[in-house]
Amino acid sequence: MDLSNLSSLGPEALQKMAEVAAAAEQQNQQPMSIDEEYELWKSNVPAMYDFVSETRMTWPSLTLEWLPQHNLVSSRNRQQMIIGTHTSGEEQNYLKVGAVDLPDEIVQATKENSSEADDGEFPIANVKIIKKFPHEEEITRARYMPADDNIIATINGSGKMFIYDRSKDSEEGLLSTLSYHTENGYGLSFNPLEENKLLSGSDDSNVAIWDISRFEKDIKPLFTIEAAHNDIVNDVKWHMFDSNIFGTVAEDSTMKLFDQRSQKETISVTSKQAYNTLAFSPFARNLFAAAGTENLVYLYDMRNTAQPLYAMTGHEDAVTSLEFDPSNDGIIVSAGADRRVIVWDIEEIGAEQQQDELEDGAPEILMIHAGHRSAINDISINPNIPWLTASTEEENIVQVWKCSSNIPRIGGAPNVDLSILS
């Protein structure tokens, strides 16, 4: 186990993990097993988090996304998310709405009332399924429409897409089907600036733009970009400031930006290995990020993509999910096949480090969530409660967690006793 990537968990947790790892190495010279790593992580949870919840689902979910809340005064403790099922054909699949009932101190989100568990246990707050809709085949991706979060789009392993209204009853929730893609799809994104505009991409290498304003039985795309890439399209995202710009990444090791007005690519970037995911900053118009099988998280400036601005190092396997924090400028969260979620603070890039700190990892690594025991399928940052994150893994587990308020960027500037300077 490489402890250098876990240094941002805090000095006490790191010291304990190093001691246990050293003892294990002395005993049998064998690396820690996944279960041993998990137990070690659990023992250090009180020092690393304000809150952690783990729920074992009946079936794994390949997708997960927090839902926004408009009535925060009366329902802030209950946070909702959309998840799916992948039953491998053994049972009916469902689009599900899950809910987590959070303790008051997490909702209030201040450093003074943060709940560091004294006994290593947090209040039980499992994900509860409050509504579900029958779905054709497994759900590979599900996303809500920002203009109306009752409207949810999904795509399945055959590339078929569906539009649901979660405010309706279970049997009446399916509004439309969308037919174009012919293979499995993971690319799905609603335009944050243009209502009813949906973007999709799939293993068939094609990209499609949809207008779902009319909930017809079978919707056809507004337009398509045939062979947008030369291989599987892994992800698609709309720009956060310009409603006409969107990006795509693919197995052909290229990332492209398109303008829907011309339906042509405007920028193409080539990497050494395949891109899996990309994200546009909600705070900086020209900033975007991408990652893939090369284990690095790249930062780019739209005005000059000849070279990345920076490459962030921390993952030990392919990066599969990437998201900018919607509440905190400069924060990016990534997850991957290495069972890790990393919270990055790009404002710390280039920060001066002491010699002993250099061994602890890059200064931009704010926190590493090491609680999963299998590859992570998807992540989502809560738009209602800062720093609250959800992640779903291959082995049927959904985790909800909030990193410790004792971390300065999260809890605010540290309190300094000026008397020590006298």
CA distance 332 to 366: 10
What's the pLDDT score for residue 411?
Answer: 76
On the CB side of 251, how many CA atoms lie within 13 Å of its CA?
15
269: three-class secondary structure by DSSP: strand
> CA 252 from chain center: how many Å?
23
What's the pLDDT score for residue 17?
Answer: 53
- What count of other Cβ atoms lies within 10 Å of the Cβ of residue 20? 19
- Kindly tell me the sign of the dihedral angle through the C-alpha atoms of 28, 29, 35, 41: positive
Q: Which of 189, 197, 184, 143 is nearest to 166 (CA)?
A: 143
> Quick check: pTM over 0.85?
yes
CB 311 within 8 A of CB 296: yes
- What count of other Cβ atoms lies within 10 Å of the Cβ of residue 67? 20
What's the pLDDT score for residue 421?
Answer: 45
CB 131 within 8 A of CB 170: yes
Mean pLDDT by runs of 10 across the 422 residues of the chain is 39 52 54 90 91 96 94 74 96 97 82 51 85 98 97 97 96 95 97 98 98 89 97 98 98 98 96 96 98 95 96 96 97 97 96 74 92 97 96 97 91 55 43
CB 325 within 8 A of CB 332: yes
CB 404 within 8 A of CB 369: no
| Single-letter amino acid code for the residue at 364 | E
What's the pLDDT score for residue 194?
Answer: 97
213: three-class secondary structure by DSSP: coil
What's the pLDDT score for residue 203?
Answer: 98
